[in-house]
Each structure stands twice: as C-alpha cells, then as structure tokens.
Structure 1
C-alpha cells in the first residue's frame, strides 16, 4: 500500500478490525519512511451479476428495480422501506451464490422465498405477476400451496 503523504510503498499494518457491519476490514497503517498513519478499508469486490431474461436477453442486475417490484407488491401494507432494502439485499446475496449469471426465474423464486415470511398478501401480489395469474383459480391454488407449506414447516420433527 502506497503512503498518501510521501508515496513510499513500504507500510505496515498497525491495527485491523471489522467495520461496516462485518462487510469490511478497517486497517490502520503506518508508513515506514515518514511515519504517517492512514486508514484503509478492505471489502469484497463482487463480479457484475447478470440476469438472463426469459427471452434470452441479458441485463445487469438492478437492485433498485427489485426494490420497485417489492414496493409495488407491498403497497398499502405495513412494510417499512428499510425492510424492502434489506430483503432486496438478501435476495441479491442469495442469487449471487448461484454464479455471476442468473435467470430472471431464479430471481423471482428467491424473492418469493423471502417475501412470504415478510407479508403473505405481498407474497400473493408478487406471485400473481411473477407466475402470470390470469384467473381466480390461480390465487386459490397458490393459497393451497402456502397452507401446505405452513403445515410442513409447523409439523414436529
């Protein structure tokens, strides 16, 4: 690491600690040439996440687009915007584990997986768009699937 004061590249780490809610490491450094102290941060550099649409087109993953979809599904519900931000980050992290290129279908499934525990009405709204509901029977079928999943989750092990 090059010293910002004298530009010498011989520095040592004096102190390291976790920063930014465990997403970075803060390092205090000292230049061995001029004794100037400075701080650096080390963070994970994520590769660009690309979404493959159902028609084969690709586009960069846009967290804001995901948040807009979540906001539409939670409109009129008591879901805080901060929770939507956190949910979008959780979805992004979970799909990033699948590689740098992800299908829009897998993004939708990840949203549904996490949204159900936040608000069931929002889940149904999102599912109706994602799964392209075109009749009341589609909502009924999705409700039955939700009830079955609840019974499985609440069954004793």
Structure 2
C-alpha cells in the first residue's frame, strides 16, 4: 500500500477492525517514511446482478445509485453511518443470495423497503411515497396504517 502523503511503498498496519457488519475491514496504517497515518477499507469484490428497469432496459448494478436512493429518505433521521452501511450490505447480500444474473428494479425496491421498514418508519414512508408514486394524502395514510395495523 502506497502512502497517500509521500507515496512511499512501505507502510505498516497499526490496527484492523471489521466494519459494515463484517463486510469491510478497516485498517489503520502508518507510513514507514513520513510517519503519517491513514485509514484504508478492504472489501470483497463481488459480481452483482444486472437490474431490469420497469421500461425493460437492463442496467448494470450501481452501488452509488442504491446508496443515494437510501440516504435521501434517511436525511435528518437518527440513523448512524454504521446502520446505513449495514443496511446497504444486507440489501446487497439479499440480492446476491437470489442467485440471479438479472433482478427487476421492482424486486430491489421491495427489498429496500423491507430494510427501511425495520430501520426507520419515517424513512420507509418517505421512500415508499416516491417508489409507489403516492398521488394524495390518502396514500400516505394507508401506508402508515399498514405500518401500524393495531393502532387507530
């Protein structure tokens, strides 16, 4: 690993920890030349299935697109970065475990919604309102009623 400060090739690992529910290894490193410290993350590279859009167009899986679609409804919610990363890891794991080469965006959306529902009700409703294209306040009421079926 080259030092990002002086580009020296000799660095040593000071500390290693699992991150993102074990999906990443976080390594704290020190440069042998300039003594600067920096952090690296190590992840397994896996092949994700392609996504079949509702229009029929097939796109490669895009982690950044998934991340953006999840982080938007989570804005200003009391959810830690570790919880967000864990949720993204679980979503990707569920998609990979399907064993398909192509997955519809509808299936991916439902997986995202189920993960959001367990994490944060407000974020779930925010995502659902866009994903299910709510047209009026009644759609919001219905979705909230589905979250809390025992409350009036």
What is residue 111 of structure 2 aligned with on the other side? 110
Q: Give the conservation status (yes or no) of the 8 Å contact 1:47–1:100.
A: no
Q: Distance in 1 between matches of 2:142 and 2:129?
A: 11
Q: Give the alignment's TM-score, normalised by structure 2.
A: 0.66
> Structure 1 pair 50/117, CA: closer, same or farther in 2 (3 Å)?
same
The count of aligned residue pairs is 113
Q: Which has the higher mean CA deviation after the structures are superposed, 125-134 or 96-105? A: 96-105
For the aligned residue pairs, the C-alpha RMSD in angstroms reads 2.4
Unaligned runs of at least 5 residues, structure 1: 1-18, 24-42, 152-157
What is residue 4 of structure 1 aligned with on the other side? none
Q: Distance in 2 between matches of 1:104 and 1:75?
A: 23
Matches within 5 A, 1:1-157: 21=22, 46-98=46-98, 99-148=100-149
Q: Distance in 2 between matches of 1:81 and 1:46?
A: 22
Q: Distance in 2 between matches of 1:96 and 1:22?
A: 13
Dislocated runs of 4+, deviation >2 Å: 19-23, 43-48
Q: Give the alignment's TM-score, normalised by structure 1.
A: 0.64
Cα deviation for residue 22 of structure 1 reads 8.3
